Chain A
């Protein structure tokens, strides 16, 4: 059996202040109270503010989670002085670049942008080398006529109309412009993440055998809403000509399910190089904007995220995927936090003869607490780490007064944008790889949970986990 490894990780953020109005929550709230649009627009962050936000710099690797934890909160007031757009495993792009990526990802001429925005987008994507000739614009008069004609959704840039996305079928709600906007935004951010992960690795696009998309978008038409796939659509843009692919749908847990499956594909020899990818969740932009407005803080859910991982045979440079320690939350396990962590953490470790304290770091739901606390959901990673520490007490591995130390040494502050599947443990993979290379860490466990109940088909929760180790072990 081939030993599979996570060879490379990539993370991207796309600043999208003018997309926030089309997040699910803002769109609905603004329809009821149009004055909210002005309040919301006044509370959006500038590009430098978003770029230098410490959690965002952590997401692309310019700060470690420990360094982030040392920065006093509120983080939106303690910005990083020398923030860069590029990090060791990612990049942050502005909204013009995001429009450019959507335009070049648009295979059905759904999207029209003005010439000024097109020029700005081309400049913002200076080093992007795929389909750049597709980023073209139309004169302002033509764009105005298109918008006035209706049948779609105006697109805004810097607060004014700069484009239009047409509805693809007027009798099909699954092909409405609002849905297509979500799907195209997801595709575009995934395209950048996959392009980036391939660019940073020795694996070339035509080496990739299989793509697994894990985004939370729902691609399809009225006859198969959500049954469609983005994996090949993304791979096509970045030149993965030898790959096929499929999508894993498991709410937030999808990336961890997919990484385990990718590892199994590599181990079995079915495929050599598998890319696991996920684009951003447009629907989640501004989800907690009312809480942010109420508290007088900037709207922090103003960026789409994307991520991509290459799984392949262990070549001595990657993180070994311990498939024998993969954890899962079985249907019969119960859904209390204790039952979930028993299934996801304690049981697989026991199976492998490992103690909880033999895991150097746990990567759980890594939602940025500055966003979730103002939405009334508290500090999600901290609550998860407290539960894990309590499990270690129950297992007799640590004393009760050792819980704080367990949390501080094996946990980390949340730094991921609240983009559904994005925060689910996997944002730490880039950091884990860097720390393993430098000898700081030997073994990490990644744990993700999925909210199956949201679709009203079951009351069940879901979860999966895996362990990674440094290759030189």
Chain B
């Protein structure tokens, strides 16, 4: 998926990949992260 110049909502999970990590990844791929959060679904 091409993320450059896209706006991204990053929802991470505590037991998987967390929100801040997703944000970092998306930004490094050229996206703008408009919201990021970590949830706990267990």
Contacts and interface: CB of A to CB of B under 8 A. Distances in A.
How many A residues are at the interface, by size bracket?
20 to 34
B14 A336 contact: no
A320 interface: no
Interface residues of B, number: 15
B21 A336 contact: yes
A335 interface: yes
Interface string B5-20: 0000000011110111
Contacts of B40: 252, 451, 454
Contacts of B14: 449, 451, 453, 461
B27 to A, nearest CB: 15
Counting chain A CB atoms within 10 Å of each CB, which of B36, B40, B42 scores highest? B42
Contact of B38 (A376, A383, A461): A461
Contacts of A372: 41-42
A159 B39 CA distance: 33
B19 A365 contact: no
A438 interface: no
Interface in A370-404: 372, 375-378, 380, 383-384
A351 B23 CA distance: 33
Contact of A459 (B16, B38, B41): B38
A213 interface: no
Contacts of B37: 453, 456, 459
A100 to B, nearest CB: 30
A378 B15 CA distance: 9
A459 B19 contact: yes
Given A336-B21, A459-B20, A453 B38 contact: yes
Nearest to B18: A335
A454 B15 contact: no
A461 B13 contact: no
Contacts of A459: 19-20, 36-38
Given A365-B15, A449-B14, A461-B14, A375 B21 contact: no
B19 A383 contact: no
Interface in A437-473: 449, 451, 453-454, 456, 459, 461
A187 interface: no
A451 B16 CA distance: 13
Counting chain A CB atoms within 10 Å of each CB, which of B15, B20, B36, B39 scores highest? B15
A414 to B, nearest CB: 10
Given A449-B14, A453-B37, A375 B42 contact: yes
Contacts of B19: 453, 459
A384 B13 CA distance: 13
A335 B15 contact: no
Contacts of A367: 42
A375 B15 CA distance: 13
Interface of A: 252, 335-336, 365, 367, 372, 375-378, 380, 383-384, 418, 423, 449, 451, 453-454, 456, 459, 461
Interface of B: 13-16, 18-21, 36-42
19 contacts: A335-B20, A335-B21, A336-B18, A336-B21, A372-B41, A376-B41, A377-B13, A377-B42, A383-B15, A384-B15, A423-B42, A451-B14, A453-B14, A453-B37, A453-B38, A454-B40, A459-B20, A459-B36, A459-B37
